[in-house]
Amino acid sequence: MSQSNMFILMVIIPLILSQSVRGKDCVCELQSSDPAFPENKLLNVEFTVSQCNGNITSEKMTEIDSLVLGLQQRIWQLLDNVSMLEKEDNGNLYAAVSLRIIELELVEIQDLLNKLNRTTNKYQLLSEQTSAELQDMEDTMEELEKFDHTQVMLKQRENQRIKRDLERCKDVLNSTKPAPTLSPGHCGLGRMVSVSGPRTYSLTVYGTSYPYGAWGRDANPTPGDENKYWLVVLSSSIVHGNFIRQYGTLSTLILGIGPTDTYISSSNPTTNTIQGPNMVMYGNALYYNCYNTYSVCQFNMTTRSVSTVALPNDAGYNNKFPFAHLGTTYIYTDMDFATDVSGVYVIYASTSNFGNVVISKVETSDPPVLSQTWSTSLHKKTVTNTFMVCGVLYATRYLDKEIEEIFYTYDTKTNEERYDLRIHIKKMQPNIKYMNYNPRDHLLYVYSDAYIVTYETMFQEVQ
């Protein structure tokens, strides 16, 4: 190895010089504003390599012989490449190209050394040392690259960067395709263009005690209840709830003044109490996943009685098909309830639909009844929440701690499915545990790591 590096040294120095003074028949004046070529650095690299080489071969490394052989082969190849280029020297590109080749070779050598590092603990220290040395060499080579007068490599890198930027631009352009039109005849909303806010953001009277919960306004209130707000916290194991708290107004909810609690049961959890956060209030009844079953519960706030309807028996429950993203599962979010102007829906996944989302309309009779059902291709565990607007299902995913993205829609009127929305929601806390649209005020009600948040949905008329 030391031999080959000696060779590199000898090759590079002449070529750098020749590059500056080469001309045809004319006399060239050497005018260089650049600093002198740092020959001593190259010498250092060469010295280090020979030392590394000495240190490695002085050990009896039977298991890693092949790796070392590979390493040696790379070095010999490097030697070949350089000597070949020397013969084919055809002008200014020479320096740039040869430096580029050396750089590529060093990357490969680094790879081999990484493998070497992994091979045995016994040689870990040694290989760590050599890796560090090679890192130094790479750094030095990068520095040497600054003496690349033709700037070829810099331009090449810039091109790569510009290409990448261009691809990103294209992505963004494509992503600004408009959302589906929300059957203007029926809802008169046009299409959703953005979500703004948060409009309100606060803790509840419980502080940060309960990371899972739900809240909102009745989407179809009985007369006299129009201003009421409801709140349910999952107070047992962050999965189960047994009572609904109501406030007269939004400000009393935020201040925690004058609540009314309505209990489904005095114990928690038990038959027909609440499991998972994604419930809704509609027509003074709460719709939710009943404890430990694949059934929908309807709790009549007036009579305090529960009626149920079962989902298909292969529907996910008890944490089988929860909402999730790569890092996190939102536990017991198998069933998501949603309200829009036409009523209540339940969103879940089933084995027969391969864990993908299924939407069923819930008729709000007593007992409730499931009517129309739609099967989508949206895998439930890649989604963090859903909501419905005018018969269109919207699904969100986790982009990062600050942004949740509405990326998917399913139109239950046309059965059209789209994965190309890029409507962003600015988060105040990393995880959205509950989200529902209220057709009365066009707000999204969100429960996010114990905080209650609202967002405005913006629509655009379509001519």
Ligand X SMILES: *[C@@H]1O[C@H](CO)[C@@H](O)[C@H](O)[C@H]1NC(C)=O
Token pair of 273 as six digits:
């109490």
Under the binding rule (CB under 6 A), the answer on residue 262 touching ligand X is no
Closest separation between CB of residue 297 and ligand X, Å?
Answer: 12
307 forms beta bridges with: 298
C-beta closer to ligand X: residue 20 or 300: 300
CA 368 to chain centre: 37
Q: Collapsing DSSP states into helix, strand and coil, what is residue 152?
A: helix
Under the binding rule (CB under 6 A), the answer on residue 302 touching ligand X is yes
Q: Per-residue x/- marks for ligand X, 314-353, CB under 6 A?
A: ----------------------------------------
Element holding 43 (H helix, E strand): helix 39-57
Under the binding rule (CB under 6 A), the answer on residue 77 touching ligand X is yes
Interacting residue with ligand X among 2, 81, 236, 265 (CB under 6 A) = 81
Q: Determine the interface stretch with ligand X among 87-95, 195-203, 300-308, 328-336 (rule: CB under 6 A).
A: 300-308
Number of Cβ within a 10 Å radius of residue 185? 6
Cβ atoms of residues 375 and 389 within 8 Å: no
Interacting residue with ligand X among 65, 139, 171, 402 (CB under 6 A) = 171
C-beta closer to ligand X: residue 63 or 80: 80
275 forms beta bridges with: 240
Interacting residue with ligand X among 122, 146, 170, 413 (CB under 6 A) = 170
Cβ atoms of residues 258 and 248 within 8 Å: yes
Dihedral sign for Cα atoms in the order 179, 183, 185, 189: negative
Closest separation between CB of residue 183 and ligand X, Å?
Answer: 24
Q: Which of 191, 286, 204, 288 is nearest to 239 (CA)?
A: 288
Under the binding rule (CB under 6 A), the answer on residue 53 touching ligand X is no
Under the binding rule (CB under 6 A), the answer on residue 313 touching ligand X is no
C-beta closer to ligand X: residue 210 or 299: 299
User: What DSSP string describes 101-168?
Assistant: HHHHHHHHHHHHHHHHHHH-STTHHHHHHHHHHHHHHHHHHHHHHTT-TT-HHHHHHHHHHHHHHHHH
Amino acid identity, residue 275? Q
Q: State how far the Cα of 446 lies from the Cα of 433, in Å rounded to an integer.
A: 8
Cβ atoms of residues 413 and 364 within 8 Å: no
C-beta closer to ligand X: residue 237 or 365: 365
Q: Which of 284, 273, 279, 297 is nearest to 228 (CA)?
A: 284
Burial of 424 (0-12, 13-18, 19+ CB in 10 A): middle
Which residues inside 385-404 make contact with ligand X, applying CB under 6 A? none
Q: Determine the interface stretch with ligand X among 47-55, 329-337, 369-377, 450-458 (rule: CB under 6 A).
A: 47-55
Q: Which of 297, 279, 284 is nearest to 214 (CA)?
A: 279
Closest separation between CB of residue 406 and ligand X, Å?
Answer: 19
Under the binding rule (CB under 6 A), the answer on residue 59 touching ligand X is no
Closest separation between CB of residue 81 and ligand X, Å?
Answer: 4
Under the binding rule (CB under 6 A), the answer on residue 202 touching ligand X is no
Closest separation between CB of residue 122 and ligand X, Å?
Answer: 11
Interacting residue with ligand X among 19, 48, 246, 396 (CB under 6 A) = 48
Q: Which of 224, 219, 220, 216 is nearest to 246 (CA)?
A: 216
Size of the site for ligand X (CB under 6 A): 27
Under the binding rule (CB under 6 A), the answer on residue 304 touching ligand X is no
Token pair of 69 as six digits:
């052989």
Closest separation between CB of residue 397 and ligand X, Å?
Answer: 18
Interacting residue with ligand X among 119, 202, 300, 342 (CB under 6 A) = 300
Q: Which of 399, 383, 408 is nearest to 330 (CA)?
A: 383
Element holding 2 (H helix, E strand): helix 2-21
C-beta closer to ligand X: residue 104 or 162: 104
- Residue 12, phi then psi, degrees to nearest 5: -70, -40
Element holding 350 (H helix, E strand): none
* Rounded CA Rg of the chain: 33
Which residues inside 129-168 make contact with ligand X, applying CB under 6 A? 129-131, 133
Q: Per-residue x/- marks for ligand X, 356-375, CB under 6 A?
A: --------x-x---------
Closest separation between CB of residue 278 and ligand X, Å?
Answer: 19
Under the binding rule (CB under 6 A), the answer on residue 426 touching ligand X is no
C-beta closer to ligand X: residue 361 or 433: 361
Closest separation between CB of residue 217 and ligand X, Å?
Answer: 16
Under the binding rule (CB under 6 A), the answer on residue 72 touching ligand X is no
Amino acid identity, residue 227? N
Q: Which residues bind ligand X (CB under 6 A)?
A: 48, 51-52, 55, 77, 80-81, 101, 104, 114, 117, 124, 128-131, 133, 170-171, 174, 283, 285, 300, 302-303, 364, 366
